[in-house]
Amino acid sequence: MSKHIVANLAGKWIDLTEADDVVMGPRQSSPYIWWEEGALLNSGNDKANIDPIYDSLYNDPFIMISYAGEDYRVNPALIQVVTK
């Protein structure tokens, strides 16, 4: 059984583990490595204390995914891990 990282990119579900040119997360890892190393999220907010000024969509957790020559900022809710 193997893990597959599947993401909704612009309305289409893509199995990222089967794609050749994908990197994701703050370390720009392959999907499998990203998952095995703790599935780190990108975050726009580097502040230790939350301030209402920084409470925006820009500071919500996200995962940067580079796929097929395009960069996607993806909400973690649009990632699925499938065991096949």
CA distances (Å), 36 to each of 3, 32, 47, 60, 70, in order?
Answer: 10, 6, 27, 23, 24
pTM of the model: 0.73
- Distance, in Å, from the CA atom of 49 to the CA atom of 10, rounded to the nearest integer, reads 32
43 has which bridge partners? none
Instruction: State the chain's mean pLDDT as an integer.
Output: 85
Tell me the mean pLDDT in the region 54-82.
86
pLDDT of 67 over the 60 cut: yes
Q: What is the pLDDT of residue 27?
A: 86
Which structural domain, as residue segments, surrounds residue 22?
3-83
Query: Do residues 6 and 80 make contact, with C-beta atoms less than 8 angstroms apart?
Result: yes
Distance of CA 44 to the CA centre of its chain: 13
The total number of structural domains that make up the chain: 1
